[in-house]
A = this chain, B = another copy of it.
Amino acid sequence: MSENPLKSRPAPRKAPKQARSLATVEAIVEAAARILEERGHEAFSTNAVAERAGVSVGSLYQYFPRKDALIGALILRETSRLVEEAESAADQPTGKEALSALILPCVEQQLRRPALARLLDFEEARLPLDAATEQVKMRFFELTRATLLRPDLPAQTDMDVASRDVVAIIKGMVDAAGEHGDEDKRQLARRVERAVLGYLNSG
Contacts and interface: CB of A to CB of B under 8 A. Distances in A.
Tally of this chain's copies: 2
Contact of A176 (B126, B167, B176): B167
Interface in A92-140: 118, 122, 125-126
Contacts of A40: 126
A172 interface: yes
A198 interface: yes
Interface residues of A, number: 31
A164 to B, nearest CB: 6
Top 3 A-B residue pairs of the complex, sorted by shortest distance between their CB atoms: A172-B172, A198-B198, A168-B176
Interface of A: 40-41, 118, 122, 125-126, 161, 164-165, 167-173, 175-177, 179-180, 191, 194-195, 197-203
15 contacts: A161-B191, A164-B176, A164-B180, A165-B173, A165-B176, A165-B191, A167-B176, A169-B169, A169-B195, A172-B172, A194-B199, A194-B203, A195-B195, A198-B198, A198-B200
